[in-house]
Amino acid sequence: MSGASISAQLQALKSLSNVYADSEPLKKPFTRPSLILDSKAAADIDLDTVFNIALSGLEVLIEKEERFRNYRNDLFSYKSKELDRELVGIEDNDGINASIRSYLRLLSGYLELSSAVNTLEYLIRRYKVHVCNAEELILCALPYHETHVFVQIVQLINTGNSRWKFLNGVKTSGAPLPRNVIVQQCLRDMGVLEAICNYAAPEKKIYPSKVVTGFCTAVVFEAGALIIVTLLAQKVTLAPNVVKSLMRSIAEIVRADANESASLQCVRMSFMALINLIQLQSMLIIPRKTVDVRSEIRDITGILFGLTKDYNIDKFMAVFLDSLLEHSFTEDLCYSTLLSILETIPLKGHVNHVGSIEDIGVERGRSARDDAGIGTGAVEDKGYPNYPFGLSILSLRRPSIHFRSPSPATSSTEAISRNRSTIGA
């Protein structure tokens, strides 16, 4: 670890000490960070008690994995009880950091055990790992993102403006973190994806556990799949059956995000990957199963409205609306979604000139009106007189939309060009 990092750790420890000193200079603190006790109750437990609890936990871990024995005379030695990280030099702190890093990597395969949490309690009390080794602690706990212990660990950490600040929602809500939120953050911030990939790689004699590799593989596969699909769609023209298969797969990711009650931002990110594929491959129609995803997405109109403001998704909107038109014959949900989009999203602002209306579009529109029992006038009264159901969206003559190729560090979602000036007059 660099000297600058060590200095930052020491400064954090000093600030922490000042907080205690300024608030209660002559008394013990009212609270202490803890994973096994209430913060107030933890303040009444002395270091010797925490140390003995940790030793008992370490013995249990040694029975399961012999490599834990290496830390018996290191991080958990009797001498460690006298250690103050604020008072030791940079070289000694480097050694402490190396031991903590390797221990947490090993511990990550056993964090579901109470004995593992007990040893972590001592590292928090004695070594302030939640302050000095925050990233290593987060990565250790991340495979257990759906557990209460993960929430407890995150609540002890000040993520500040680091790449882990997206975890602040966990601190506030106290709710476990769905995996799709991690995947979406990997798409937004390649630094998070890189950290997860590196954590799954062997380091010296420490090999990641099945828990760690399983978690990291799942996250990387899901995030990487969306990135690869976008890059692949940019480089080559795919066979129609391949595109349809990819659309179904991405649609399932969108469906899963929606079913897991993910944030709208997460659903939006997955949906953008689908938009990328459709736009880059110049699809003329969206398969029925993919269109059906709309029923799983909360506020799809609001999401699309936001995307039309932030990105150029005109080609997707044309294809999506035409697909909704086709299925509006028999699907009330398609019909209501179409009405909502036409009523909410200013599509006319993206249409520079309208070509001839195809005969088949007229027939579809007439059939849709007859089945729904409404006339053209009723539609016009809702505020979009220029969008009768006889309009085939694909008959709108639109110039080509060009996309900038993302750099290797660019998020896949940024492959949707922001350059709106490409639309011809």
Q: What would the pLDDT profile of 186-216 be if each residue is shown by its tens digit?
A: 888 889 989 998 898 877 677 788 899 889 8
CA distances from 356 to 316, 338, 361, 400 (A): 20, 21, 10, 19
- pLDDT at residue 20 in the model: 44
Contact 93, 86 (CB under 8 A): no
Decide if 241 contacts 261 (C-beta within 8 A).
Answer: no
**What was the pLDDT predicted at 203?**
73
The tokens describing 419, both together, are 């350059």
Question: 323-349, pLDDT tens digit by residue?
Answer: 887 777 677 787 778 778 877 887 665
pTM, rounded to two decimals: 0.63
Phi/psi for 163 (5° steps) reads -70, -10
Q: What's the token pair of residue 193?
A: 């994806």
C-alpha distance from residue 421 to each of 55, 312, 384 (Å):
66, 9, 25
User: In the chain, which stretches have pLDDT less than 50?
Assistant: 3-4, 10, 16-26, 350-362, 364, 376-425
- At 167 the pLDDT is 95
> Which tokens belong to 281?
């491959």
CA distance 395 to 357: 6
Is 352 within 8 Å of 424 (Cβ atoms)?
yes
CB 163 within 8 A of CB 189: yes
- For residue 225, the model assigns a pLDDT of 75
What confidence score (pLDDT) does residue 365 get?
Answer: 55
Q: Output Rg (C-alpha) for the chain, integer angstroms.
A: 28
